[in-house]
Amino acid sequence: MKKSSYFIHQPLVLYSLLAILILQTACSKDPIREEVITPPDTTKTVTYENGIFIVNEGNYNWGNASVTYLNNTNNTVVQDVFSKSNNRNLGDVAESMTIAGKLGYLLINNSNRIEVVSLKDFKSVSTISGLHSPRFLQVVDSTKAYATNMQNYISVIDLKTNSVSGTIKTTSWTENLIKYDKFMLVTSIGRFSEPSAVRKAQIFVIDTETDAIVDSIQSGKEPIGIVIDKKQKVWVLCSGGYDNFEAPSLMRINPELRVVEKVFTFTDPAQVPSRLCMNPTGDTIYYLKGGVYQMPVTSNTLPTQPLIKPEGRLFYGLNIHPGTGCIYVSDAKDYVQNGSAYQYNAAGSLIRQYVTGRIPGSFCFTANSTK
């Protein structure tokens, strides 16, 4: 071979071989993303106005939060309703859902968003950003709501424009909140980055007319739940701290005088209570502590036996139906598979069981829900 043709040929031979190889391999254009295997829906859910939403947190940083819908009209279950209606995933760690009028507000903790959806079709109406690890949302009136954050502030949400209209500076992790008179009582765990010993646990009293913290009530470490009973007494559940800094406690507060009236201390350090709930008649408290516990507000002692035993289940979410008083409790299993939700009547008899998405954490009931 002559020198000149040698130089022309050598790359040609090699690169034509390469071209053949490239042509042989087919080219996929669909992005490769996580897929959820769910049975196909047998019924078409037209609206989401009569039923129960189960908010599945999903795994931290996996972006697999979802919403399961229990349709009260025809007793069907629809998984992953947000993705189906919006062709995108809900985000990372869905903490809670609150309904205001005809809209649902989903607080997406690690995506720092509130997804606003229409209950008619679950299509996204708005996406609120500018939050700092949002936790729970409570409606003040038809124009305003408060959303708690794990850091820095409480966000004031304008329900007309679906945007953040202001902030209430706290520098602490605020968790649960409940309305009393013209005030919002907000549990505050303390600064997120600090250990329990240093964290200042308190209940903020916020004047909803001025959006200002007007008072505070000291509580046990890590106040995570707050409810109000029929006599307008406020109950606060304190976990005692992530590091078991102190024994968990249940406190009764007089919101008028802003004083703690009663403290019930939990004795078993291995079992930490969570998910404080109140029944619709305002006379019975529920919480999780391994099993589901039930306690009349008039009781002088904490219950010693659960109403519903866990029997190997990892009870994770709990709520009481505001109409029927049914107990809804979820099993997150080992956090790395689909969970379950159980519906019990107020006496603790199982009515129905449902499959949910990953880490079912909270329940949200529509105004018309009948189950």
Partner 1 sequence: MYSVGIQCIPLLLYAQTPKDTLNLKEFEVKSTYKSDINGFKRVKLDSTFLVNHLNEDLSKVLANYSTIYIKSYGSGSLASPSFRGTTAQHTQVEWNGINLNSPMLGQVDLSQIPVSQFDGLEILYGAAGISRASGAFGGVINLVTNPDWNNKINVLAAQSLGSFHTFTSNINVVAGTSSFQSHTKFNYSASENDFPYYNEYLTKMVTQHSASYAIFGISEELFFKVRDKHLVSVKFRYNQDDRDLPPTTNNFENDHYEKQSSKNLFAVADYKFVEKKYNVLVRTAFSNQEMHYALDSTINVVHQYYQVINKIRFTYLGIRNMLIKPGIDFTFDQVASDDYNGIKSRSTTSFYTELSNDIGGKVKTSLVIRADLINGSFLPIVPAIGIAYLPWKKCDLSFTLNLARNYRYPTLNDLFWAISGNPDLVPETNYSVELGYAFTHKSKNGKFLFELNMAGYYSWIYQMITWTSVIGNPSLWKPENIDEIRARGVETGLNFKWEVFNFRVSLDNNYNFCRSTYQKASSAYDEKIGKQLIYIPVNTLNSTFSIARWNFYLNYNFCYVSERFTAKDNLSVMPAYNLSNIIAGKNIHIKHFILSLQFDINNVFDLDYQSMPSRPMPGINAAFTVKLGFPGTNR
Nearest approach in angstroms of CB 207 to partner 1 is 29
Q: Does 33 bind partner 1 (CB under 8 A)?
A: yes
Residues 286-325 that bind partner 1 (CB under 8 A): 289-290, 310-314, 316
Q: Does 25 bind partner 1 (CB under 8 A)?
A: yes
Other C-beta atoms lying within 10 Å of the C-beta of residue 284: 20
Among 84, 254, 258, 335, binds partner 1 (CB under 8 A): 335
Among 32, 198, 257, 347, binds partner 1 (CB under 8 A): 32
Among 118, 216, 244, 254, binds partner 1 (CB under 8 A): 244
Cα 144 to Cα 72: distance, rounded to the nearest angstrom: 29
Q: Does 233 bind partner 1 (CB under 8 A)?
A: no
Other C-beta atoms lying within 10 Å of the C-beta of residue 117: 27
Q: Does 257 bind partner 1 (CB under 8 A)?
A: no
User: Considering beta carbons, is residue 140 or 272 the nearer one to partner 1?
Assistant: 272
User: Considering beta carbons, is residue 183 or 286 the nearer one to partner 1?
Assistant: 286
Residues 6+ apart with CB under 8 A from 80: 36, 38, 66, 67, 68, 357
| 209-246 residues labelled b (16+ CB within 10 A) or e (exposed) | eebebeebbebbbbbbbbbbbeeebbbbbbbbbeeebb
Question: Is the Cα torsion angle 368, 363, 170, 204 positive or negative in sign?
Answer: positive
Candidates 306, 335, 308, 324; CA nearest to 363 is 324
Would you call 148 exposed, middle or buried from its count of C-beta atoms within 10 A (0-12, 13-18, 19+)?
Answer: buried
The mark string for 118-147 relative to partner 1 (x by CB under 8 A, - otherwise) is: -----------x------------------
Q: By CB under 8 A, name the binding residues for partner 1.
A: 6, 10-11, 13-15, 17-18, 21-22, 25, 27-38, 61-64, 87-89, 91-92, 110-112, 129, 151, 192-193, 239, 242-244, 270-272, 274, 289-290, 310-314, 316, 331-338, 340, 358
